[in-house]
């Protein structure tokens, strides 16, 4: 019965489109869902829904992002079939949002807890730049943060992968491919530049060229070309060096190059012997979840950057995150719920 209601909530949340920057409908659903729950709810200045209990600074804050990578016009139909829940965003992050709701409701109803909070955050995906998580860290100032994600039940993320993203725009004079031969092409110049950038990337900060566009007619010298690139790393120094290198790039006239930073996600880590990690590992041992430490890129990055001990845990097992074929194993939600209730009891009861 309790499990059926958890699965129903995952499905209800996933069915509501919530692309980064347009999370309102999903947050409004959560406000209605939590109307009679213990504790108090409020919205903060960036749009996060904050659920608090107790007085004073939270000893622990759970972060569950509500936004998804899917546009509002993607079919958000959720289907349950053969023990699996199918639909875009069922795992990332509907499962985690629903598990946070059920775990906190359950533990608050059975005991008086030390002060804590859940931040249902906005702006975690894509170019959201952890907007919600950064703000929640600054305003709640919790002693510790656990970010919950809908996939990855079998590991604890203790290393936070950071990133730097930018758009490069090359412009030139253009012209006819034969009569103006010799003029520099914006497209050729961008491709050469990117080839060098990709080949020179540091091994600890690989660079991905996500998209290139540019040029026009087959017999015209390209006047414009753009590329979006991302570097990911566990080292903030490596990311800063990459960003500084991009800012220093110059190209010969009449070409011009504009480098527009699109986002920066801080890297970080929590020591494997930190009490927060030990508490989560203990709980996992009691319910038979694997003791595997891993890396990831989540709302926990923002907390670590703010000097707050943080890690991230999954709430289900699934496949195809960030694809419309996304699915999670419904039975695994039970272990995800047991893990989070166990952690709340251990840290706050
Ligand atoms: Zn996520």
Find the CATH number of the domain harbouring 337.
Answer: 3.40.630.10
Q: How far is the CA of 302 from the centre of ligand 1 (A)?
A: 14
Q: How far is the CA of 200 from the centre of ligand 1 (A)?
A: 30
Same domain, 81 and 149: yes
Give the per-residue pLDDT at 21: 96
Q: Which two tokens stand for residue 278?
A: 């030990």
The H or E element containing residue 83 is none
Q: How far is the CA of 99 from the centre of ligand 1 (A)?
A: 14
Residues of the chain with pLDDT under 70: 1
Give the per-residue pLDDT at 126: 83
Same domain, 284 and 331: yes
Q: Which two tokens stand for residue 206?
A: 């690989």
Same domain, 308 and 178: no
Q: ∠34-37-38 over CA atoms, to 5°?
A: 140
Q: How far is the CA of 94 from the centre of ligand 1 (A)?
A: 9
Q: How far is the CA of 245 from the centre of ligand 1 (A)?
A: 30
Q: How far is the CA of 65 from the centre of ligand 1 (A)?
A: 7
Q: How far is the CA of 184 from the centre of ligand 1 (A)?
A: 43
Residue 281 phi, psi (nearest 5): -65, -40
The DSSP code for 288 is T
Q: How far is the CA of 150 from the centre of ligand 1 (A)?
A: 7
Give the per-residue pLDDT at 130: 96
Same domain, 187 and 284: no
Could you tell me the CA-to-CA distances from 156 to 110, 283, 295 in Å, in that order? 27, 12, 8
Last residue of a domain, one of 198, 233, 265: 265
Q: How far is the CA of 147 from the centre of ligand 1 (A)?
A: 9
| Torsional sign, CA 342, 279, 302, 168 | negative
Over residues 124-142, the pLDDT tens digits come to 998 899 999 999 999 999 9
Q: How far is the CA of 289 from the centre of ligand 1 (A)?
A: 20
Same domain, 100 and 227: no
Q: How far is the CA of 128 from the centre of ligand 1 (A)?
A: 12
User: What's the pTM value of the predicted model, to 2 decimals?
Assistant: 0.91
Residues with CB under 5 A from ligand 1 (ion): 92-93, 149
Give the per-residue pLDDT at 295: 96
Give residue 141's domain range. Answer: 2-161+267-348
Could you tell me the CA-to-CA distances from 216 to 34, 111, 186, 222, 260 in Å, in that order? 53, 66, 11, 6, 22
CB 284 within 8 A of CB 340: no
CB 52 within 8 A of CB 116: yes
CATH number at residue 233: 3.30.70.360
């Amino acid at each position: 019965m309790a499990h059926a209601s958890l699965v129903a909530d995952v499905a209800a949340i996933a069915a509501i489109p919530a692309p980064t920057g347009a999370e309102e409908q999903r947050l409004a659903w959560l406000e209605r869902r939590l109307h009679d729950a213990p504790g108090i709810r409020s919205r903060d200045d960036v749009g996060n829904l904050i659920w608090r209990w107790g007085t004073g600074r939270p000893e622990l804050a759970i972060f569950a992002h509500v936004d998804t990578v899917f546009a509002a016009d993607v079919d958000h139909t959720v289907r349950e079939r053969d023990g699996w829940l199918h639909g875009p965003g069922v795992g990332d992050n509907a499962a985690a949002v629903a598990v946070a709701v059920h775990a906190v409701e359950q533990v608050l109803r059975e005991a008086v807890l030390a002060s804590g909070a859940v931040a249902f955050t906005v702006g975690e995906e894509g170019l959201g730049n952890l907007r919600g998580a950064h703000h929640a860290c600054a305003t709640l100032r919790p002693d510790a943060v656990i970010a919950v994600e809908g996939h990855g039940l079998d590991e604890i993320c203790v290393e936070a992968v950071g990133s730097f993203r930018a758009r490069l725009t090359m412009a030139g004079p253009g012209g006819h491919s034969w009569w103006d031969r010799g003029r520099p092409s914006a497209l050729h110049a961008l491709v050469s530049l990117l080839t060098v950038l990709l080949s020179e990337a540091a091994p600890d900060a690989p660079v991905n060229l996500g998209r290139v566009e540019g040029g026009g007619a087959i017999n015209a010298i390209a006047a414009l070309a753009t590329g979006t690139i991302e570097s990911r790393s566990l080292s903030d120094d490596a990311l800063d060096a990459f960003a500084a290198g991009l800012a220093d790039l110059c190209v010969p006239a009449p070409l011009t190059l504009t480098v527009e930073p699109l986002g920066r996600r801080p890297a970080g880590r929590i020591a494997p012997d930190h009490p927060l990690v030990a508490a989560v590992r203990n709980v996992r041992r009691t319910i038979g979840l694997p003791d595997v430490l891993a890396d990831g890129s989540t709302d926990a990055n923002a907390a670590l950057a703010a000097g707050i001990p943080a890690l991230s845990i999954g709430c289900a097992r699934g496949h195809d995150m960030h694809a419309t074929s996304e699915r999670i194993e419904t039975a695994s939600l039970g272990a995800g719920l047991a893990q989070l209730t166990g952690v709340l009891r251990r840290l706050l009861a």
